[in-house]
Amino acid sequence: MNRPVGIETEYGMLCGSGGDDVDFAYEAAMLVRSAPLADCFRGWDYTAEDPRADLRGTRVRRLDQDPHDLRGNSAKSRNLSREELLADTVLANGARLYNDHNHPEYCTDACLSLHDLVAQDKAGERVVWRAQQARNAAVGDGSHVRLIKNNTDYHGRSYGCHENYLVRRAVPLDALIAACIPFFVTRQIYAGAGKAVHESGRSRAGGFQISQRADFFETDVGINTTTQRPIFNTRDEPHANPQKYRRLHVIIGDANCSEFATALRVGATALMLDLVEDDAAPRLQLRNPVRALQAVSRDLALTQPLALADGTTIRAGDIQRRYWEAAQRYRGRDTETDWVLDEWGATLALLETDLTRLRDRLDWVAKLALFAQASGGDAIDWENPAVLRLDLAYHLVDPGVSLYHTLARAGRLRRFVTDEAIDHAERTAPAGTRAGVRAACLAKFGDHITDMEWGSITFRHNGAAFALPLTELWGTAVDRQQRMVDTCQTIAELRQIVEQGGGT
């Protein structure tokens, strides 16, 4: 990748017997706090964050909230302090785990390679699975809570898997929006996680579709994330040098179990952003992007014509092919870029000619094959509750019962990283990034840390506070900071260097 990228995943929870009597706020907080983590930091500094700042140069008075979102509904959560409820935790690998909108959320820090990113994302699955085990052991009920890496509870509520891409602020915002919208609407044909339900408004009907999230988007551009969801999100929180960078906060995407699908989704998106920065992106404008998004999700044959603003029509696969053809200019840049271009092109070709051959790579195709197998050759009854249970079982994080893990162990789903790489990612920050600096500070001077956030670490020494800025995500500045932390033997030495300006 030609830029740092991170993934933040909210996990669904099945708690006890389910129903409206579950205090999901409390359960999410207790699960996060149960995670058996070594060398972690409990806490988070929110003072530098402003989720109401908009990339369009304004600041909204409030963010809209979905009235149907899960809320704490008992004294259990109301009796928790804000810190106890959020359960903010920074891990030894530089990642973050906390309770976000009553879901446990795992955030990787930015990574510089697809290999590191997929490994860090999979490490997050292991972390929350162990948290599930620990929580159930504490309650004394092995099925008290089960975590799911999906995006809907099938009752009209959705939770996200967001990607974060560093983008140069000098890129015109209008050009960025224009290129992203048709790309995001159509990348679901290889990035969708598949779903055995149609959810329109608050109604539900059986019927398979490609994307778990498509039903929950209502507008083209906007700042909200939990209601009136936009295809292009305009939140302006760079978590980096704000004069140099934007953070493209991509909320339109499914939580992939397939390692291949995650790598392709992120790799293709990163190449699309390279095209935008080089003013080389295809010029396409959908007439109604939200309608097109939902049409593509229901078009399993991938033949639905999508209306463009100029009066012509085009298929989703052809839109993706336009971006893929434009991105050929980067072929030969490095082996990772060539892998993305090769697999992107091969996937688009198979989507047109032999969809079933992608059941070892794409979540939605793998799930569709599972449903067909379970039906024994008969027509699939999408209203059958057993189909919904099969759908959920694919996404369970417990590798002992997850259908995804069953397929992967049997060699029926391609791997992108090894188990050893995931083991390493659980313990180690992604190479060459500020996450490495954060992790080194936590390991070496953790007893002196009082606050952490993406862009800084605050220490206390002899009653005085000092902060190490982390506004660069990679590059020579980060390399200098890493050498500084590795070289310093005491907190006094670190403080002296930082206060003398050596920490930037």
Residues 53 and 162 in one domain: yes
For 424-459, give one letter per residue: b (16+ CB within 10 A) or e. bbbebbbebbbbbbbbbbbebbeebbebbbbbbbeb
Residue at 428 is within a domain? no
Residues 93 and 152 in one domain: yes
Residue 306: name the closest of 295, 298, 297 by CA. Answer: 295
C-alpha to C-alpha distance for 410 and 227, rounded to whole angstroms: 39
Domain boundary among 388, 405, 423: 423
Which H or E run contains 452? strand 449-453
Residues 207 and 304 in one domain: yes
Residues 336 and 234 in one domain: yes
pLDDT confidence of residue 142: 86
The answer to which of 129-138, 152-161, 166-175, 456-465 has the lowest mean pLDDT is 152-161
Domain boundary among 423, 446, 471: 423
Q: Is 220 a catalytic residue?
A: no
Residues 154 and 261 in one domain: yes
Residue at 21 is within a domain? yes
C-alpha to C-alpha distance for 160 and 235, rounded to whole angstroms: 15
Residues 439 and 462 in one domain: yes
Mean pLDDT of 306-315: 98
**% of the chain exceeding 90 in pLDDT:** 83
Phi, then psi, of 184 in degrees rounded to 5: -65, -40
Active-site residue identified among 23, 88, 100, 215: 100
Indicate the residue type of 382: W
Residue at 193 is within a domain? yes
pLDDT category at 400 given cuts 50, 70, 90 is very high
C-alpha to C-alpha distance for 468 and 68, rounded to whole angstroms: 41
Residues 271 and 338 in one domain: yes
- Tokens for 345? 């092109």
Alpha helix positions (H), 51-200: 75-78, 82-86, 114-139, 173-186, 188-191
Residue at 23 is within a domain? yes
Residues 255 and 358 in one domain: yes
- Tokens for 278? 């080089």
Q: What is the pLDDT of residues 109-163, one digit of tens each?
A: 999 999 999 999 999 999 999 999 999 999 998 889 999 999 998 888 899 999 9
- Tokens for 190? 């290889």
Residue 450: name the closest of 434, 433, 463 by CA. Answer: 463
Q: What is the pLDDT of residues 312-340, one digit of tens each?
A: 999 999 999 999 999 999 999 999 999 99
C-alpha to C-alpha distance for 75 and 264, rounded to whole angstroms: 44
**pLDDT value at 70 more than 70:** no
Residues 226 and 265 in one domain: yes
Indicate the residue type of 83: E
Residues 417 and 441 in one domain: no
C-alpha to C-alpha distance for 307 and 293, rounded to whole angstroms: 11
Strands 229-233 and 217-222, sheet pairing = parallel
Residues 237 and 201 in one domain: yes
Rg (CA), the chain: 22
C-alpha to C-alpha distance for 331 and 322, rounded to whole angstroms: 15
Residues 490 and 387 in one domain: no
C-alpha to C-alpha distance for 227 and 243, rounded to whole angstroms: 30
Mean pLDDT of 60-79: 73
Mean pLDDT of 240-245: 94
What range does the domain containing 488 cover?
433-499
361, 113, 9, 443 alpha-carbon torsion, rounded to 10°: 140
Residue at 504 is within a domain? no
Q: Give 313's strand partners.
A: 307
Mean pLDDT of 478-501: 95
Domain boundary among 390, 423, 456: 423
- Tokens for 173? 């915002």
At 299, which CATH number? 3.30.590
Mean pLDDT of 373-385: 86
Mean pLDDT of 238-253: 95
pLDDT higher for 415 or 375?
415
**Count of the separate structural domains present in the chain:** 2
Residue at 172 is within a domain? yes
C-alpha to C-alpha distance for 196 and 364, rounded to whole angstroms: 10
